[in-house]
Amino acid sequence: MAAKFRSFLTILGIIIGIASVIIVMAIGASAQQLIIAQVSGVGSNLVGVLPGASDEKGPPASVLGIVTTTLKQSDLDAVLLKKNVPNAVAASGYVSGIGTARYKNNSRQNNFQGVSADFIDVEKNDLSSGRFFTDEEDSGLARVAVLGSNTAKELFETEDPIGKMFSLKDVNFTVVGVLAPKGGSAVSNPDELVYMPLSTAQKILLGIDYLNFMRVKIDNPENITRAVADIKYTIRTQHRIKNPNDDDFSVRDTAQALNMVTNITNVLKYFLAGIAAISLLVGGVGIMNIMLISVTQRIREVGLRKAVGARNRHIITQFLIEAVFITLVGGIIGIIFGILISLLAAVIINALGYEWEFLISFSSIVVATMVSAAIGLLFGLYPARKAARISPMEALRYE
């Protein structure tokens, strides 16, 4: 209380450090929950096939942005044959792109996906109006499209889009359906997309003959293991691969995807928390510096206390208690600020249309409190010991 500004500067470093750790842990946990919920939301009976080989515990190369062209429409057709994968009930191939969508005076940059006619069953999507395109329209390169709910509103405003024509990348498409609102995803937002027949997207808009990935719907989650084995065997046969080590594709079921996403997000979460924790070390060094200054300014006080009977342990205890008290106060204020900022972030992200949970773990608060006390002890010990070594005679004569 005698040195308010000095104490405030000391506390400030701890407040920033503790608040940073709380915010990173809270936002990391919420982001992880959002991603896992989105992966789980596609269903527990889906199997994904991606181009490019990968380790069982790691992502395929295509996930890292590397273009791999080994997955073809013929692979999708082979998987759908009952003799090859008897438990597969539906499947869709996917390709993606971006282009300018225009209708009258309205235009917007729009992501689009070329998908198979089975997409509506695979992805658990509902239509708010119109219909989805058919297998015949897919194979016939029909220029038809199904719009996400937000895309339909922005392009057509109050008009009914069904039967209307719009352009995408200067190619005209007729709207045959509009999807019901589904909400934002951690990876993409289906409400913002334009869906069109897979072959149309490949050959007319993108000029490619491969798939970005495909998803296969299995009749029962209990049959996932067998279906994965059947799919691998089928695609190996298609690609004339005899040794599994030579696979040029990767097959993942939902459970594997969840484990992979959890592992990746955990690594990112703790890595960011570690970076935030560096500010705690900076705060600790600040405490040590301020306490050293305090020792210099209070030499006469220490000398007087020792002259009237105080021992070294009393001086060490005094300075350690001061350091721990300061860091605990800073830690508590930092926790409060961290919680408030995390809550504000949750409110803002929810307002943007994402289902963001406000998650603060009790353990992170306990750990933050213990860490702040430990920093006070650790970085307050050297100044306290230095104060205890002061000679009473020299201290009383100190000017």
Please indicate, yes or no, whether residues 172 and 149 belong to a single structural domain of this protein: yes
- The count of structural domains within the chain is 2
Q: Is the dihedral of CA 186, 32, 249, 54 positive or negative?
A: positive
Please check whether residue 8 lies inside any domain of the structure.
Answer: yes
What local confidence, expressed as pLDDT, does residue 395 receive? Answer: 60
Please check whether residue 318 lies inside any domain of the structure.
Answer: yes
Which residues lie below 8 Å from residue 146, measured CB to CB, with a gap of 6+? Answer: 127, 130, 132, 133, 175, 176, 177, 178, 179, 194, 195, 196
User: Tokens at residue 81, please?
Assistant: 């044959």
Q: What is the mean pLDDT of residues 95-101?
A: 92
Please indicate, yes or no, whether residues 243 and 342 belong to a single structural domain of this protein: no
Closest C-alpha among 326, 329, 299 to residue 315: 299
Q: How far apart are CA 219 and CA 66, in angstroms?
A: 32
Q: What is the mean pLDDT of residues 329-357?
A: 83
212: domain range?
A: 69-247
Please indicate, yes or no, whether residues 24 and 73 belong to a single structural domain of this protein: no
| pLDDT digit string, tens, across residues 195-215 | 999 999 999 999 998 999 999
Average pLDDT of the chain to the nearest whole number? 81
Please check whether residue 51 lies inside any domain of the structure.
Answer: no
Which of these three, 223, 247, 271, is where a domain ends? 247
| pLDDT digit string, tens, across residues 228-271 | 999 999 999 999 988 888 888 888 877 666 666 677 777 777 77
Please indicate, yes or no, whether residues 178 and 301 belong to a single structural domain of this protein: no
User: Tokens at residue 127, please?
Assistant: 């239509």
Which of these three, 220, 247, 274, is where a domain ends? 247
Please indicate, yes or no, whether residues 268 and 238 belong to a single structural domain of this protein: no
Please indicate, yes or no, whether residues 314 and 385 belong to a single structural domain of this protein: yes
Please indicate, yes or no, whether residues 194 and 135 belong to a single structural domain of this protein: yes
Please indicate, yes or no, whether residues 77 and 19 belong to a single structural domain of this protein: no
Distances (CA, A) of 22 to 61, 240, 275, 280, 373: 34, 52, 12, 12, 16
- Residue by residue, DSSP assigns 264-332 as HHHHHHHHHHHHHHHHHHHHHHHHHHHHHHHHHHTHHHHHHHHHTT--HHHHHHHHHHHHHHHHHHHHH
Please check whether residue 265 lies inside any domain of the structure.
Answer: yes
Please check whether residue 279 lies inside any domain of the structure.
Answer: yes
Please indicate, yes or no, whether residues 156 and 234 belong to a single structural domain of this protein: yes
Please check whether residue 357 lies inside any domain of the structure.
Answer: yes
Q: How far apart are CA 314 and CA 196, in angstroms?
A: 78
> Which of these ranges, 119-123, 148-152, 341-345, 384-388, has the smallest mean pLDDT?
384-388
Please check whether residue 252 lies inside any domain of the structure.
Answer: no
pTM of the model: 0.60
What local confidence, expressed as pLDDT, does residue 189 receive? Answer: 77
Which of these three, 222, 247, 272, is where a domain ends? 247
| pLDDT digit string, tens, across residues 10-53 | 778 778 878 887 887 788 777 777 776 666 555 568 888 988 87
Percent of the chain that is helix, strand, coil (3-state, to 5): 55, 15, 25
Please check whether residue 52 lies inside any domain of the structure.
Answer: no
| pLDDT digit string, tens, across residues 52-85 | 876 555 555 555 556 678 899 999 999 999 999 9
Please indicate, yes or no, whether residues 206 and 330 belong to a single structural domain of this protein: no
Please indicate, yes or no, whether residues 225 and 266 belong to a single structural domain of this protein: no
Please indicate, yes or no, whether residues 284 and 389 belong to a single structural domain of this protein: yes
Residue 186 has pLDDT above 50, yes or no: no
